[in-house]
Structure 1
Amino acid sequence: MAAAKQSPFESVTINLEHDIDEQYQYQPGEIIRGKIGIQLHRSTLVQSVYLTITGDGICAWEDDYLGSLESKENYIDATQAIFDAEGLARYLDTGFHHFPFEYRLPENIPSSFIGKFGSVTYILKAVVEGDRPGDTTIATEPFLVMRKCLLPENLSEPRKIKLAKTYFSMCSWGKVKADIHIDRTGFVPGEDICLQAEVQNHSPLRITAIQAGLMMESVYHAQKNLISYRQIVNKRRDDFELIDGDGRRWQNVRIGIPAYVPESFLEGCDIIELSYKFQFRIELSSGKELKVEIPITVGADPKGLALPGPNKNDENVNIHWTMGPRDLAKKQIEEQREMSAWTVASPEFRDREQVMNPLFRNESEKLRNGDRPHLESSGFNHDDYEDEIAPDYPGSEDTRL
């Protein structure tokens, strides 16, 4: 029996030009430019080279009574025939060949997101067909879309909260008080929440820990049903124990907004909603707690909204792209006969593992604890507190780490 011939394709890769901090990140309306690279270890015939760009949203979970629930949305489904020989395969020499491409992203697509029960993802897929059926090779490359939503000016105002609650234990009673101050409620990814806080214990219970953090709540919709999930995005924690009469002060504690979290609300996606809250929680003995949550808006600074300036040659960027399956692209080839020249180049390659944006990491990966905040003991007194407690959120994730 004759041995099967080895495929002539050593590798097929997709290389994008726009690369920020080793993350493929784009805004809606921006042009994606790149090259499909084909490395041949022997000369061969190539029938066609196709490139597809897809953007999809999906939600899925199991319900105890309703079974499997799922919903989907499509934001991009575009295909371009980079080369199609239409039965007349083209001969390529041994070595590297590349095919440039460009595509303007739609203006109304949502940001990339990967959550517990759903995701919004964008993927480039290149399909190269050789002269024989077994020579077809496929390469894929994910990329990020980060939408920029302008922050309202009123979110730049500081926010102050005072808490107090009375606790009883062992025929004794007293109050736990907290004074919390954050510099504002609107932030851009990469910025810090600046926190000042004072906690005083005049109760018979011990304060076992104080924690402040940024919470993300995601709500998923499918078949007229919904499910929510809460997770800690970033936090600061103090395990210093306070007994009756002790106080604790946090000064200039910073809690970072990760650089690649999606904006609030996830505009453009109808099946997933996102919101953020700043949470300050005091843990006490006997499993009790005192907490408050303040809504936080994640958006963009006006200085970061600008896209590269318009170019006359950019007006018809998507003229060679068709919406839908590949057979539609073939029809377009009949109308567009001018093919791009085949050139030889040696672009710089990198391993796929280098794309380490948090949105592409394992969702179950735990966030590491940050540096300990600057803390001071204090013997302050405040008598102007009102009894106030944040409401509980049934079904939310336990934020004790």
Structure 2
Amino acid sequence: MAVSCEILIARTEDDVFKPGDLVTGTIKYFIDEPTKFEGISMNFLGNGNCWWTKTEGGAISVGNSETYVNKTISFYTGKSGEELSGAYEYPFQFLLPINIPSSYKDGNCVIAYKIIVTFVRTTRREQFEAEIPVQGYVTTSVQEPMLFGLQKKLFPVFTDSKIALRGELENVAVTPGTNVNLTIKVNNDSNNEIFVRTELIKCFTLMSNHGETSANIILVPNTTTGSNIEKNSEQSIKCVVPTFVNLFSIQNSNIVKGEYKVRVTIEIPFPYKDATVDVPVVIGKIIGGVIAPDPMKNEHCDEEK
């Protein structure tokens, strides 16, 4: 005896579902010979899991999980002496909740939405599943444009020099694949030629159910640009930081916080240290909201080395 099952989900225009969307489709299954079932059910499940290993004080595994949606429909309950065979269809529809995070997967975190069909017999259980790609809405309370600054103080023997940078981020919230535009004004009141670099940084933080966190900060490839600034000069530069269609912030989750930042760095010759400011941006489909980014550190000063 064999059961075959197809879960056919109606496609959307962009092949992803948004919070509040209606998910519709049909379950088609075929039973090749008369078989008695105790039940056939469908489960619409959205959940997230994260895990990692703490190394402080010995290796300890930590993690967290949460459920965003969990609905079950039993569309067949076994009847005494009844056997099923042949082809069957069952249409379905589910409504996605509003405040849910996007689908996501990496080596330490998975957020997934699935339809799971279960066939239960006395001696065995068979499951078939299909994934529903979800792209959650994101919010920001930051008004555009966002202003930011960075200052580097240098202390040579006879003169007091400094480098001051003032910037304007034109679009704090962008859709995936849209560029982030900046205007940066640099006052290089020093005897050093410097280099101003911009790039996109991915900052994803995992959160355990006991309050531990694990942050992973990486440079997004192919997003770095920069300009040379002559010594003892003032210059205004336009910068374009690209995003990509597969990048999106993650909100509305208690297991992972997914953020992106534009990192602006002043590169200064040795013996001075570089100075950096990270400016938060939100990537995704925007709706109005009240979520504010973490406070931004926007001034850096180093003593002479």
State the TM-score, normalized to the length of structure 1.
0.58
After TM superposition, give the deviation of residue 211 of structure 1 in Å.
2.3
Q: CA 1:180–1:34 in structure 2 vs 1: closer, same or farther (change >3 Å)?
A: same
Question: Which residue does 2:14 correspond to in 1?
Answer: 21
- Select which of 286, 299, 302 maps to 1:388: 299
- Select which of 266, 277, 286 maps to 1:282: 266
After TM superposition, give the deviation of residue 171 of structure 1 in Å.
9.9
Report the identity percentage.
Answer: 18
After TM superposition, give the deviation of residue 149 of structure 1 in Å.
4.8
Question: Which residue does 2:95 correspond to in 1?
Answer: 104
1:199-221 CA-partner distances (Å, limit 9, x unpaired): 56565656466223254342413
Question: Which residue does 1:32 correspond to in 2?
Answer: 23
Alignment of 1:305-316 (within 5 A): none
Q: CA 1:258–1:198 in structure 2 vs 1: closer, same or farther (change >3 Å)?
A: farther
Which amino acid letter does the alignment assign opposite residue 65 of structure 2? Answer: K
Question: Which residue does 2:118 correspond to in 1?
Answer: 127
- Select which of 105, 126, 131 maps to 1:142: 131
After TM superposition, give the deviation of residue 22 of structure 1 in Å.
3.0
Q: CA 1:139–1:146 in structure 2 vs 1: closer, same or farther (change >3 Å)?
A: same
Q: CA 1:159–1:235 in structure 2 vs 1: closer, same or farther (change >3 Å)?
A: farther
Distance 1:284 1:177 in 2: 13
Question: Which residue does 2:83 correspond to in 1?
Answer: 89
Distance 2:262 2:195 in 1: 20
Distance 1:163 1:119 in 2: 37
Q: CA 1:234–1:180 in structure 2 vs 1: closer, same or farther (change >3 Å)?
A: farther
Which amino acid letter does the alignment assign opposite residue 47 of structure 2? Answer: D
Which amino acid letter does the alignment assign opposite residue 19 of structure 1? Answer: T
Verify the 8 A CA contact 1:15 1:35 in the aligned structure 2. yes
Verify the 8 A CA contact 1:50 1:80 in the aligned structure 2. yes
Distance 1:124 1:390 in 2: 54
Question: Which residue does 1:226 correspond to in 2?
Answer: 213
Question: Which residue does 1:51 correspond to in 2?
Answer: 42
Asked if residue 213 in structure 1 is aligned to residue 200 in structure 2, the reply is yes
- Select which of 156, 164, 182 maps to 2:169: 182
1:12-53 CA-partner distances (Å, limit 9, x unpaired): 322211434233x231x432211223367xx42353532222
Q: CA 1:239–1:151 in structure 2 vs 1: closer, same or farther (change >3 Å)?
A: closer
Q: CA 1:163–1:194 in structure 2 vs 1: closer, same or farther (change >3 Å)?
A: same
- Select which of 48, 73, 80 maps to 2:66: 73
Asked if residue 164 in structure 1 is aligned to residue 151 in structure 2, the reply is yes
Verify the 8 A CA contact 1:213 1:278 in the aligned structure 2. yes
Asked if residue 255 in structure 1 is aligned to residue 242 in structure 2, the reply is yes
Which amino acid letter does the alignment assign opposite residue 143 of structure 1? Answer: I
Verify the 8 A CA contact 1:201 1:247 in the aligned structure 2. yes
After TM superposition, give the deviation of residue 81 of structure 1 in Å.
2.1
Question: Which residue does 1:346 correspond to in 2?
Answer: none
1:350-398 CA-partner distances (Å, limit 9, x unpaired): xxxxxxxxxxxxxxxxxxxxxxxxxxxxxxxxxxxxx93299xxxxxxx
Q: CA 1:200–1:166 in structure 2 vs 1: closer, same or farther (change >3 Å)?
A: same
Q: CA 1:172–1:114 in structure 2 vs 1: closer, same or farther (change >3 Å)?
A: farther
After TM superposition, give the deviation of residue 74 of structure 1 in Å.
2.3
Q: CA RMSD in A?
A: 4.0
Distance 1:242 1:107 in 2: 47
Distance 1:108 1:70 in 2: 22
Verify the 8 A CA contact 1:213 1:280 in the aligned structure 2. no
Distance 1:173 1:92 in 2: 87
After TM superposition, give the deviation of residue 146 of structure 1 in Å.
3.3
Question: Which residue does 1:396 correspond to in 2?
Answer: none
Q: CA 1:186–1:242 in structure 2 vs 1: closer, same or farther (change >3 Å)?
A: closer
Which amino acid letter does the alignment assign opposite residue 128 of structure 2? Answer: A
After TM superposition, give the deviation of residue 142 of structure 1 in Å.
1.8
- Select which of 107, 113, 116 maps to 2:104: 113
Structure 2 residue ranges without an equivalent (≥5): 289-297
Which amino acid letter does the alignment assign opposite residue 45 of structure 1? Answer: P
Distance 2:158 2:106 in 1: 47
SS at match of 1:236: coil
Verify the 8 A CA contact 1:234 1:256 in the aligned structure 2. no
Structure with greater helix percent: 1
Q: CA 1:100–1:246 in structure 2 vs 1: closer, same or farther (change >3 Å)?
A: same
SS at match of 2:74: strand
Question: Which residue does 1:328 correspond to in 2?
Answer: none
Which amino acid letter does the alignment assign opposite residue 133 of structure 2? Answer: L
SS at match of 1:26: coil
Q: CA 1:270–1:236 in structure 2 vs 1: closer, same or farther (change >3 Å)?
A: closer
Q: CA 1:271–1:302 in structure 2 vs 1: closer, same or farther (change >3 Å)?
A: closer
SS at match of 1:145: coil
1:154-193 CA-partner distances (Å, limit 9, x unpaired): x343123343324468999854443422114344445432
Distance 1:115 1:201 in 2: 42
Question: Which residue does 2:277 correspond to in 1?
Answer: 292
